[in-house]
């Protein structure tokens, strides 16, 4: 379980994280959705010990990140947005060093590394240097490495950013499998479809504050069920309707309206935050 | 428990060292070879320093300088790990103490430094100079390596990028390499300059290493200064690692 209470991070006058409070239940897949610079990565950095907090607090699996940071770190694995693997080490060596950092004994390290590299489809590359891997392979290796010590909580910071669509889907499947095995997953993303596909609950974050938090279905329901878009001078206006019949009547009477469609999570994000995802 | 993770930090550096070992040996040897050829042989055997040829005088200085440069080389490794590979995050997010991390890096720097001493001694033998290498010789080399590896961690945590690191090398390491009693006897300097040069830890390392290499007793004060500087810089490095979590 993750409990975040009034978490704050300030850089001078800028509040990167501005009083965030939320709870993620054990085994839940929670998505933290927002534009670049919203405070998503900063939140993860605070929770995983990479950045000091300015105020508030949090606990991971019952361990307070302020008073028991080492206990809190034991609870979690983290996959950062950028690649942070040792290029001059082999896949096995990267896994082994991680296992040592988390106090695993030698037989456990070897067995777990073999199991995980097989799990992420990299078993045949065990002895290769990381520098020889493709971007998608590196991302899968980072996920495998983060799972090495069997963390109860997995933080994924933009896990599919910059990856091709097919690799992205493979990683989505992997994340779902990891959650299915009982791991709590805290995912940040600015890909709305990623949050919609993966998450049990979603928090919209913008300028360091949570603007809305609920299941994807509930967030979309706040906006409506059906929508149509209309080109306007400023770009595009969207109208939302509670049911298909009302929407159909409106679109028939409308001049210049585009196709009628179901409301998606992007509609909810735009409406509830008044923003676009940059 | 406090030291848990030290082995992982140290092992990572040793794997990298093993993988680049030939480059490492060439890197250690290249400057000393140039100094030995350019200064040592050019001075010939007629010039005497405390009853020794210049090559005999120079070699212990090169040992001291190499322990400094190789131990301080840890800063470059940390810099790459921090700003280029982002591996430092892996250590920051792991359940290990700052003591374990700093000791892991310092021990790796000391290992590089002491291997570097072997390379210099080998070069000396190739130039026909062999030194006495008793326990005090190795203690002085180890203390010097400890101080400069700790300094490497400290400065690597304070810099904000590769450019700063290069600047620090130019301002800290290069002057010390030339002024720390490596290439010339300090007693030939004016008194005011001697006072300044004795403020440099490398001066004490050079003096202690040279004394043992010539079979003479080294002043305990050299060891005391090196140990005191080492402990102080190590403590500062511990604080700096904590503060590196912006």
B191-205 residue pLDDT tens: 888 888 898 999 999
CB atoms within 10 A of CB B152: 29
Q: By the CB < 8 Å criterion, does B86 face chain A?
A: yes
Query: What's the predicted TM-score (pTM) here?
Result: 0.89
* pLDDT in the model for residue B180: 86
**Domain interval for residue A260:** 219-273
Q: What is the pLDDT of residue A278?
A: 38
In a domain, A230, yes or no: yes
Condensed to tens digits (0 to 9), the pLDDT of residues B43-63 reads 766 677 778 888 899 999 999
B201, B202, B205, B211: CA torsion to nearest 10: -120
B100: pLDDT strictly greater than 90: yes
> With an 8 Å Cβ cutoff, are B90 and A88 in contact?
no
Q: Does A127 share its domain with A234?
A: no
B89–chain A Cβ distance below 8 A for any pair:
yes
Chain B CB within 8 Å of residue A100 CB: yes
Sign of CA dihedral A58, A64, A70, A73: negative
Q: Is B23 on the interface with A (CB under 8 A)?
A: no
Residue of A nearest to B1 (CA): A103
Q: At what angle do helices A216-223 and A265-273 cross, to 10 degrees?
A: 60
Q: A173 and A260 share a domain?
A: no
Whether the CB-CB separation of A262 and A225 falls below 8 Å is answered with yes
Phi then psi dihedrals of residue A191, to 5 deg: -90, 110
A103 and A233 in a single domain? The answer is: no
* CB contact residues (below 8 A), chain A span 185-204, against chain B: none
Gap from A16 CA to chain B (nearest CA, Å): 13
Of A199, A218, A237, which residue sits at a domain end?
A: A218
Among candidates B4, B85, B91 on the partner chain, residue whose Cβ is nearest the Cβ of A87: B85
| B16 Cβ under 8 Å from any chain A Cβ | yes
Collapsed DSSP state (helix, strand, coil) of residue A83: coil
Distances from the Cα of B118 to the Cα of A113, B93, B111, B121, B133, angstroms: 37, 36, 11, 5, 11
CA distance A47 to A70: 12
pLDDT digits (tens, 9 = 90+) for A243-273: 888 888 887 877 767 778 899 998 999 888 8
User: Helices in chain B by DSSP H: which ranges?
Assistant: 6-19, 21-35, 42-43, 54-72, 74-79, 88-92, 98-126, 135-158, 162-168, 174-179, 191-197, 201-213, 220-243
What ranges do the domains of chain B cover? 6-243
Q: Are strands A209-214 and A201-206 parallel, antiparallel or unpaired?
A: antiparallel
The SS3 call for residue A234 is: coil
Measured in degrees and rounded to the nearest 5, phi and psi for residue A186 equal: -115, 110
Considering only CB atoms, which chain A residues are within 8 Å of B7? Answer: 100
A42 plus A133 within the same structural domain: yes
Q: Tell me if residue A138 falls in helix, strand or coil.
A: helix
A77 Cβ contact partners less than 8 Å away, ≥ 6 residues apart: A145, A146, A147, A148, A149, A151, A153, A154, A155
Record: contact A102-B95, CB cut-off 8 A? yes
Of the pLDDT bands very low, low, confident and very high (cuts 50, 70, 90), residue B242 is confident
Residue A278 is assigned to a structural domain of this protein: no
Question: What length is written for chain B?
Answer: 246
Query: In terms of CA atoms, which chain A residue is nearest residue B97?
Result: A70
Q: How far apart are the first and last CA of chain B?
A: 25
Residue B92 forms contact with A (CB below 8 Å):
yes
Is the minimum CB–CB distance between A66 and chain B shorter than 8 Å?
no
B19 contact A CB<8A: yes
| Pairs of residues, one from chain A and one from chain B, whose beta carbons lie less than 8 Å apart | 67
The ipTM, to two decimals, is 0.88
Asked if residue B107 lies in contact with residue B101, where contact means CB atoms within 8 angstroms, the answer is: no
Verify that A138 and A247 share a domain, yes or no.
Answer: no
Instruction: Record the tokens describing residue B110, joined without a space.
Output: 């000391």
Calculate how close chain B gets to A197, using CA atoms only, in Å. 28
One domain for residues A228 and A184: no
Nearest Cβ partner for B93 among A78, A85, A88: A78
* Separation of alpha carbons A57 and A21, rounded Å: 9
Quick one: tokens of A190?
């600015």
> Is residue A230 domain-shared with residue A258, that is, in the same domain?
yes
Q: Please check whether residues A257 and A213 belong to one and the same domain.
A: no
What is chain A's pLDDT, residue by residue, as a tens digit (278 residues)? 999 999 999 999 899 999 999 999 999 999 999 888 889 999 999 999 999 999 999 999 999 999 999 999 999 999 998 999 999 999 999 999 999 999 999 999 999 999 999 988 899 999 999 999 998 899 999 999 999 999 999 999 988 887 788 888 888 988 999 899 999 999 998 888 899 899 999 999 999 999 999 999 999 999 999 988 877 777 778 888 888 888 888 878 777 677 788 999 989 998 888 765 43
Instruction: Determine phi and psi for A40, rounding to 5 degrees.
Output: -65, -55
Question: Looking at the structure, do residues A234 and A180 belong to the same domain, yes or no?
Answer: no
Total residue length of chain A = 278
Please count the structural domains in chain A: 2
A56 and A146 assigned to the same domain: yes
Is B11 an interface residue toward A (CB < 8 Å)? yes
Q: Given A178, A203, A218, which residue is the final one in a domain?
A: A218
A170 and A249 housed in the same domain = no
Q: Residues of B with CB below 8 A from A87's CB?
A: 85
Quick count: other Cβ atoms within 10 Å of Cβ A212? 18
> In this structure, how many other beta carbons lie within 10 angstroms of the beta carbon of residue A173?
11
Q: What pLDDT score does A37 carry?
A: 85
Contact B92 A84 (CB under 8 A): no
Whether residues A73 and A91 fall in one domain: yes
Q: Is A184 on the interface with B (CB under 8 A)?
A: no
Q: Which residues of chain A lie closer than 8 angstroms to B11, CB-CB?
A: 97, 100
């Amino acid at each position: 379980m993750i409990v975040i209470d009034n978490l704050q991070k300030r850089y001078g006058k800028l509040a990167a994280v501005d009083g965030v409070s939320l709870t993620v239940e054990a085994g839940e897949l929670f998505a933290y959705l927002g534009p670049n610079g919203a405070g998503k990565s900063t939140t993860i950095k605070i929770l995983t010990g990479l950045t000091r907090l300015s105020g508030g607090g949090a606990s991971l699996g019952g361990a307070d990140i302020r008073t028991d940071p080492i206990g809190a770190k034991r609870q979690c694995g983290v996959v950062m947005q950028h690649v942070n693997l040792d290029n001059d080490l082999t896949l096995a060596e990267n896994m082994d060093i991680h296992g040592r950092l988390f106090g695993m004994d030698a037989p456990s390290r070897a067995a777990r590394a073999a199991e995980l590299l097989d799990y992420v489809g990299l078993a045949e590359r065990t002895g290769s240097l990381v520098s020889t891997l493709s971007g998608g392979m590196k991302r899968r290796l980072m996920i495998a490495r983060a799972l090495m010590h069997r963390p109860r909580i997995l933080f994924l910071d933009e896990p599919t950013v910059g990856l091709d669509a097919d690799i992205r889907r493979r990683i989505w499947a992997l994340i779902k499998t990891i959650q299915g095995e009982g791991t709590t997953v805290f995912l940040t993303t600015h890909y709305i479809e990623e949050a919609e596909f993966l998450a049990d609950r979603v928090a919209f974050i913008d300028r360091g504050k949570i603007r809305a938090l609920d299941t994807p279905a509930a967030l979309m329901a706040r906006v409506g069920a059906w929508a149509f878009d209309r080109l306007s001078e400023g770009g595009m206006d969207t109208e939302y309707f509670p049911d298909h019949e009302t929407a159909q009547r409106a679109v028939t009477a409308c001049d210049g309206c585009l196709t009628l469609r179901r409301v998606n999570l992007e509609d909810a994000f735009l409406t509830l935050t008044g923003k676009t995802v940059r | 428990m406090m030291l848990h993770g030290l082995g992982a930090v140290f092992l990572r550096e040793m794997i990298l060292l093993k993988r680049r070992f030939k480059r490492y040996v060439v890197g250690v040897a290249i400057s000393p070879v140039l100094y030995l050829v350019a200064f040592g042989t050019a001075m010939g055997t007629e010039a005497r320093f405390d009853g020794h040829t210049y090559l005999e005088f120079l070699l212990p200085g090169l040992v001291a300088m190499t322990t400094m440069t190789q131990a301080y080389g840890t800063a470059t490794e940390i810099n790459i790990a921090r700003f280029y590979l982002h591996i430092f995050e892996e250590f920051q997010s792991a359940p290990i103490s700052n003591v374990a991390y700093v000791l892991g890096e310092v021990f790796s720097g000391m290992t590089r430094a002491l291997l570097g001493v072997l390379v210099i001694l080998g070069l000396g033998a190739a130039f026909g100079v062999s030194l006495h290498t008793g326990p005090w010789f190795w203690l002085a080399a180890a203390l010097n390596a400890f101080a400069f590896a700790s300094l490497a961690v400290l400065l690597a945590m304070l810099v904000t990028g590769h450019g700063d690191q290069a600047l620090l090398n130019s301002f800290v390491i290069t002057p010390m390499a030339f002024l720390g009693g490596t290439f010339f006897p300090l007693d030939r300097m004016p008194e005011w300059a001697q006072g300044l040069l004795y403020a440099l830890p490398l001066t004490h390392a050079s003096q202690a290493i040279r004394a043992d290499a010539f079979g003479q007793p080294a002043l305990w004060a050299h060891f005391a200064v090196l140990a005191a500087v080492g402990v102080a810089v190590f403590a500062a490095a511990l604080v700096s690692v904590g503060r590196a979590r912006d």
